[in-house]
Amino acid sequence: MRAPAYRYPRGYGYRRWSTNMVLPAIFLSSTYLFQDYAMIGVGRPPAGYYWVRYGPDLLLVNRGTRRVVDVIYGAFY
C-alpha cells in the first residue's frame, strides 16, 4: 500500500520485528496506530489488539503485553 512518509520517534530507526517481541510503549500512541486496516485487507484487529505501522511493516500487537503477534513485512511503500 502506498502511504505517507513515516517518521520514527527520536532514537529509533528501522528494525525487523518478529512475533513474541515486545514493542516499546511509544508505538501504541495514536501516531503509530493504523486505523485504515480495511484498505489493505487485514480486517479489524481482535479485541485487545492494535495494528501498528512500523516503517514499511504492519504489526499486530497485544495491547496489554505489547507483544507482537503477527507481522506483515513490506505492507507500505
Edge-first strand listing for the sheet containing 57-62: 49-54, 57-62, 68-72
Query: Which pLDDT band holds residue 61 (cuts at 50, 70, 90)?
Result: very high
- Assess whether pLDDT exceeds 90 at residue 66: yes
pLDDT value at residue 42: 93
Look at the pTM and tell me if it is higher than 0.85: yes
- Tell me the domain boundaries of the chain: 25-72
pLDDT tens, residue by residue, 4-28: 789 999 999 999 999 999 999 999 9
Total count of residues recorded for the chain: 77
